[in-house]
Amino acid sequence: RLVPGQEQEGAKFSDYFEHDEPLKNVPSHRALAILRGRNEGILSFSIVTGDVTDKLTPSPCEAMIAGHFNLKNEGRPADRWLHEVVRWTWRIKLLTHLETELMTNVREAAEEEAIKVFGQNLKDLILAAPAGAKATIGLDPGLRTGVKVAVVDATGKVIDHDTIYPTPPQKRLADSAKIITALILKHNVELISIGNGTGSRETDKFVGDMIKSNPALKKVQKIMVNEAGASIYSASELAAKEFPNLDVTIRGAVSIARRLQDPLAELVKIEPKSIGVGQYQHDVNQSQLARALNATVEDCVNSVGVDLNMASVPLLTRVSGLNTTIANNIVNYRDEHGAFA
């Protein structure tokens, strides 16, 4: 039920303002939504037995308690007092404890299901088919700040970058098309990876129109990718070490380009929880979520395998038996002596 006076603040929970449902039928996402509403002070909930609309008839649980102790109302002087004891036993003692226990079970089951769904979604994302070793332009869409552009070669190395303004309010379509076309022709780009964030629809339309209007670009393909976690990665210590001379915003565009080339190799650099492919991830047990998602990433890496001559340190550390020190040693040896035979 809605907490009085919270109508405006709790608009997003309006489905639960007058909600009744058997406890056994509550799905995990609904249970987590109700619990979040309660935690934010918008909703209150209680477990009700018997007819909700009948306030006079005793709860059937009271009859169960009386039956257990063989208590009956036979008109004896103490029977009314015993009836009151049974009522208080249920309402004050048993009901509160039972409600706490049942809701704990519901919450734990809902969290377990949410973590399971999160893990499956993460697996589907990082095991998505890679586009392969092709020169790619990554576009990190934006409106006021423009669209960040990064060009990576077939191995994922950054070879160029820029900023264009094809979206409102600037809407410099001709200039933006000229810049992208020049980059495509200069670096033999085959793919354009567009992040699905703010301004993605406008950016996607701009790229589509540009390709259609220029016969020289007929072999170029544009693909929308999930950019979740790109901003987290771009501001991370790992990204700063990998691209010390690149602006944070350009690093995000690099990540968007690379995750089209090889989703697994790029997404392992990001904290799994930051990828954001599950519901109510901040409401579930964080340690259990972290363990489950890290296990999912490791399972994916070990089921697919890695290319020792191309794998990054973050990817190698996900291989069973390898730690950060060994992974760094492998990469340093490769950089010094060349590819492994």
Domain ranges in the chain are 11-126, 136-261, 306-341
Is the per-residue pLDDT at 292 higher than 90?
yes
| Region of poorest pLDDT, from 45-49, 246-250, 302-306 | 45-49
* Mean pLDDT computed over 322-326: 94
C-alpha 307/C-alpha 175 separation (Å) is: 40
Q: In angstroms, how far is CA 109 from the centroid of its own chain? A: 19
Is the per-residue pLDDT at 341 higher than 80?
no
Is the per-residue pLDDT at 297 higher than 70?
yes
DSSP string covering 165-234: --STTT--HHHHHHHHHHHHHHHT--EEEEE-STTHHHHHHHHHHHHHH-GGGTT-EEEEE--TTHHHHH
The β-bridge relationship of strands 158-164 and 147-152 is: antiparallel
C-alpha 176/C-alpha 198 separation (Å) is: 18
Is the per-residue pLDDT at 52 higher than 70?
no
Is the per-residue pLDDT at 54 higher than 70?
no
Sign of CA dihedral 103, 109, 112, 115: negative
Is the per-residue pLDDT at 117 higher than 80?
yes
**Residue bearing the bigger pLDDT, 52 or 63:** 63
Is the per-residue pLDDT at 219 higher than 90?
yes
* Mean pLDDT computed over 8-35: 91
pLDDT value of position 243: 92
Q: In angstroms, how far is CA 197 from the centroid of its own chain? A: 14
* Mean pLDDT computed over 218-236: 92
* Mean pLDDT computed over 196-203: 94
* Mean pLDDT computed over 313-330: 92
Is the per-residue pLDDT at 55 higher than 70?
no
Q: What is the CA radius of gyration of the chain?
A: 29
* Mean pLDDT computed over 60-88: 88
> What class, spelled out in words, does domain 11-126 have in CATH?
mainly alpha
224 backbone dihedrals φ, ψ, rounded to 5°: -85, 130
C-alpha 313/C-alpha 306 separation (Å) is: 11
pLDDT value of position 133: 87
* Mean pLDDT computed over 68-82: 87
Q: Is the CB of residue 327 less than 8 Å from the CB of residue 317?
A: yes
* Mean pLDDT computed over 114-143: 93
According to CATH, the superfamily of the domain at 136-261 is YqgF/RNase H-like domain (3.30.420.140)
* Mean pLDDT computed over 279-304: 91
pLDDT value of position 277: 78
Read off the DSSP letter of residue 91.
Answer: I
pLDDT value of position 246: 93
